[in-house]
Amino acid sequence: METNNNNQTFFKIALGVTFGIIALLAYLFVGARNETVELQKSLTMKVEQLSTTQIKLDSIDKVLTSKIEEIKVLGGNVTELEKVKEQLEADRKKLKSDFHFSAQKYDAKIKEYENFLAVKDEDIRKLKEENGQLTVRAKTLEDEKKVVEDENSSLKTEKVTLTQNLADYSAKNEELAKKVTLASAMKAQQVQVYALSENGKLRDGGRYKSSKIDKLKISFVLASNPVAEQNNKDIYVRIMDQNGAVISESANSGIMQFDGKELGYTTKQGIPFENNDQKVDIVYGKGSPYKSGKYSIELYSEGFKIGTGGFEVK
């Protein structure tokens, strides 16, 4: 009887231990399962964040590439943009193997890129505005060129060059400086040549005795030009005899550059250009008698032929 009681007691203890082990295993299983679910949720969130970050970086790369091309067309500087693009490429490459990926860190970088692109949007707007102003300026120069063509046929070669420069302007903004130079050329109008005798008597008419010419007085009007710079201008005078030889018998004679060639000149004089149709007088003394014949006069300034005239010696 006592043996049966002992067996029953042992069986109960064994059964209790078994249930305890089962309960422990069930607890551990449930805990492990919960941890697995949480880990899966965390991994899923990481993957989604990684994918979203990749998409944002790819989108920024496309926008950045587009802005670089647009600024190049507008003639702007893309050095800073290209450096930022290199950094973006490095971030995109790092993202593919970043085992310590942090969405917050990349979100901060993406915000910086977005702010940078916003600043460049403003730069592009300003470039477009500047290009628009240059286009208006080019149209103004075109109109001024036509006026010059109508007024002075001696500027035909320069006008052809101006026409070509204006045609090229649509593709190259730097051609604007050349066009402004052409449009700003001065013009000497109403060129008259007078003879001054030794006693200072002035003779006009354009036909003089050699004995009555001690000096020549060349008078003309410098036409106003809204494009020309108001400063001191050097006026070069070429006096040529009937054979085309340049008279150069003074210390003020020399060589000048014109249309890529060297030309001798008779004299030169500095003129403060006032841009108000001012009258200019240049007096030249040859130092020896003039031979009979017809003489021609050419006036130059700032690389342009600005006027012509002539006189005759009996």
Residues 109 and 205 in one domain: no
β-bridge partners, 279: 221
Residues 91 and 193 in one domain: no
0.85 exceeded by pTM: no
CA end-to-end span of the chain: 172
| 142 lies in some domain | no
| 163 lies in some domain | no
Q: Please give the pLDDT value at position 256.
A: 95
| 162 lies in some domain | no
| 171 lies in some domain | no
Domain count for the chain, please give it. Answer: 2
- Chain segment 192-235, per-residue pLDDT in tens: 999 999 998 999 999 999 999 999 999 999 999 988 889 999 99
Q: Please give the pLDDT value at position 291.
A: 94
| 211 lies in some domain | yes
| 258 lies in some domain | yes
Amino acid at 298: E
Q: Please give the pLDDT value at position 86.
A: 82
What does the block give as tokens for 82? 């290209």
| 49 lies in some domain | yes
Q: Please give the pLDDT value at position 239.
A: 97
- 127, 149, 173 — which closes off a domain? 127
Give the DSSP H/E element, type plus range, for residue 104.
Answer: helix 103-151
Q: Please give the pLDDT value at position 152.
A: 64
- Cα–Cα separations (whole angstroms), residue 47 to 52, 61, 88, 92, 209: 9, 21, 21, 15, 104
**Range of the structural domain that residue 24 is part of:** 2-127
Q: Please give the pLDDT value at position 301.
A: 95
| 181 lies in some domain | no
Which residue ranges in the chain fall short of pLDDT 50?
Answer: none
- Whichever domain contains 198, its CATH number is 2.60.40.1930
Q: Please give the pLDDT value at position 222.
A: 95
